[in-house]
Amino acid sequence: MKQSKVFIPTMREVPAEAEALSHRLLLKAGLIKQSTSGIYSYLPLATRVLNNISKIIREEMEKVDAVEILMPALQQAELWEESGRWGAYGPELMRLKDRNGREFALGPTHEEVVTSLVRDELKSYKRLPLTLFQIQSKFRDEQRPRFGLLRGREFIMKDAYSFHADEASLDETYQDMYNAYDRIFKRVGINARPVVADSGAIGGNHTHEFMALSEIGEDTIVYSNESDYAANIEKAEVVYTANPKNTEVAELKKIETPNIKTAEEVAKYLKRPLDEIVKTMICKVDGEFIMVLIRGHHELNDVKLKAYFGTDQIEMANQDEIINIVGAHPGSLGPIHDKDIKIYADNFVQDLNNFVIGANEDGYHFENAQLDRDFKVDEFGDFRFILEGEPLSDGSGNAQFAEGIEVGQVFKLGTKYSETMNATFLDNQGKAQPLIMGCYGIGVSRTLSAIVEQHHDDNGIIWPKSVTPFDLHLITINPKKEDQRELGNQLYDQLMNNYDVLYDDRQERAGVKFNDADLIGLPIRVVVGKRAEEGIVEVKQRSTGESEEIHIDDLENYINDLYLTLN
Ligand code: ATP
Ligand code: MG
């Protein structure tokens, strides 16, 4: 393609609010243009990369017998009411009405639509298993759209759904998909790590996320250097072994702590170590208030709390609710009270004696609190985030942390949707059974951005050849010079037979052309310049910057060999 005819609006200055490197580079290299917050147009180069990623996904989906369909993005509320998610999904769901006042959503995901599709069409176990997938725009009114394509409000997803007669069949497809995801991310050039993730209220170890390692990642991965253990920090179990502190017991003492609120402030004010302060929080679980206790240096993990109580419905109590319950502001909360509210504590609270807690009276705390003597804990559990260096639950050493971008997720749904939506099949006894389901997503547009996060240098993008928008960047330095223009045109015709060529035929200064070429990042650059007359051009690798002068008689062979060595 001639660059003079392609729409590549490269930028000199990118807006300051573009924090993520991939966001800046995609804007700068003219791949995307923001329409409004979290919503982008994909320009020609990005479209080509998306097509390449999609092609790889399609090939790998075919290998695991997944068939492509395309479902509506506009979904009637009735379906979501059947699954119970019309109420439960929250403000991320983009809701709208048609001219008759009938309610719809713009699909953030397609479990409801696919379940209703299959339940109406698939009646017999003989047709199972069945896996359907699509590549389509999804809509989520994210609270914080950011980092460009990494967290958009409209984004492209590959979503697949599998249907099974039994668990063994689901296990098999799950493993196939897991392996396919591994291959997909390798093929598109992403260094991704599958991690055990939280499966929400359904429970169990039934989901893996694929994390592209990157500093900008919003997820923390906990992994082991000694085994292949890897988990999302939300899920990483904390192993509790008793390690009691302050074995001498002292008397409970109420002390004044004016304007002291956080655990850190309390520790500083009382000159006590942070881990001897116990934080008290009030949460609403399925509408019922509970207290949760955590040591000062630990942090509450609401995902673990949700898994513990088997619900998605957990919120922190607000200030008014807290004042109403204990008669004090959040900064003075404590477990010593006569209210009818259950107390849950993180396992590690058991190690403490003589600890500090709020007194349920503004401006006061208790020192020397003791379990059982001063208050009773109803249940202990693992309610906090693991810390770096703590032992891992597989016994393989200590927790290491890395940041990752979730580029894909595989999930065993079981009968969650088929039961609520009454999607059954007839088994070999002729008996109706709920379909067993799995779902499998890849953020296609997020993947595009994640590739750039992992493949760039100070000058721009460095595309892996599997997804690059064009293979070769052919540049004539001065197309006004006839010999250069003619050789450029000749090589363009010739190289196009075997490669996708972007031909920079623009009347721009050499510096502008080279800057743009670095920014756009095609794997190989062929420059027609001063030595055009002698039939000599320069061939440069984008990744290493190495270049060589090559005679045009040897050019094809040289490029063929070089291209083979590239990633
Ligand atoms: P996240 O935790 O990042 O919000 P999610 O777990 O809610 O994502 P899924 O429902 O698992 O997302 O969607 C499947 C895939 O779609 C994700 O693995 C991710 O790659 C992609 N994705 C999800 N939300 C977005 C978004 N707002 N922008 C771009 N891609 C997204
Ligand atoms: Mg996910």
What is the predicted pLDDT for the residue at 248? 85
Q: Where in the chain is the domain with CATH 3.90.960.10?
A: 253-381
pLDDT tens-place string over residues 217-227: 999 999 998 99
CB 154 within 8 A of CB 42: no
Taking residue 44's Cβ as centre, other Cβ atoms within 10 Å add up to: 16
What is the predicted pLDDT for the residue at 245? 86
> What is the 239 CA–ligand 2 centroid distance (Å)?
25
Handedness of CA 21, 31, 152, 64 (dihedral sign): negative
Give the architecture-level CATH label for domain 253-381: Alpha-Beta Complex (3.90)
Q: What is the DSSP annotation of 150-218?
A: GB-SEEEEEEEEEEESSHHHHHHHHHHHHHHHHHHHHHTT--EEEEE---GGG-SS-EEEEEEE-TT-S
What is the predicted pLDDT for the residue at 204? 54
Question: What does the pLDDT average to over 282-293?
Answer: 96
Q: Where in the chain is the domain with CATH 3.40.50.800?
A: 470-565
Instruction: Give the number of whichever ligand sits closest to the CA of residue 407.
Output: 1
pTM for the full model? 0.93
Pocket test for ligand 1, best of 406, 407, 439, 442 (most atoms within 8 A of CB): 406
Of ligand 1's listed atoms, the one at least distance from the Cα of 140 is 27
**Tokens in use for 518?**
């670095």
Pocket test for ligand 1, best of 50, 142, 193, 446 (most atoms within 8 A of CB): 446
| Ion ligand 2 contact residues with beta carbon within 5 A | 409
What is the predicted pLDDT for the residue at 205? 59
Using a pLDDT cut of 70, give the percent of the chain over it. 99
Residue 510 has pLDDT above 90, yes or no: yes
Question: What does the pLDDT average to over 324-349?
Answer: 94
pLDDT tens-place string over residues 69-84: 999 999 999 999 999 9
Distance CA 469, CA 478 (A): 24
Residue nearest to atom 31 of ligand 1 (CA): 443
Q: What b/e sequence results for 81-110 when a residue is b if at least 16 CB atoms lie within 10 Å of its CB, and e otherwise?
A: ebbebbeebeeebbeeeeeeeeebbbbbbb
> What is the 515 CA–ligand 1 centroid distance (Å)?
33
Distance CA 474, CA 472 (A): 6
> What is the 194 CA–ligand 2 centroid distance (Å)?
12
What is the predicted pLDDT for the residue at 203? 52
| pLDDT band with cut points at 50, 70 and 90 for residue 494 | very high
Query: Which CATH code for domain 470-565?
Result: 3.40.50.800
What is the predicted pLDDT for the residue at 548? 97
Handedness of CA 292, 298, 300, 305 (dihedral sign): negative
Q: What is the DSSP annotation of 457-502?
A: ETTEE---TTT-S-SEEEEES-TTSHHHHHHHHHHHHHHTTTS-EE
Question: What does the pLDDT average to over 105-119?
Answer: 97
Q: Where in the chain is the domain with CATH 3.30.930.10?
A: 11-208+407-453
Max mean pLDDT range (7-11, 291-295, 324-328, 334-338): 291-295
What is the predicted pLDDT for the residue at 92? 96
- Mean pLDDT rounded to a whole number for the chain: 95
pLDDT tens-place string over residues 120-172: 888 899 999 999 999 999 999 999 999 999 999 999 999 999 999 999 999 99
Instruction: Give the number of whichever ligand sits closest to the CA of residue 211.
Output: 1
Instruction: For residue 139, report the phi and psi dihedrals to the nearest 5 degrees.
Output: -130, 125
**Ligand 1 site, CB within 6 A:** 109, 140, 142, 151-152, 155, 157, 406-409, 441, 443, 445-446
What is the predicted pLDDT for the residue at 120? 84
- The topology (CATH level 3) of 11-208+407-453 is BirA Bifunctional Protein; domain 2 (3.30.930)
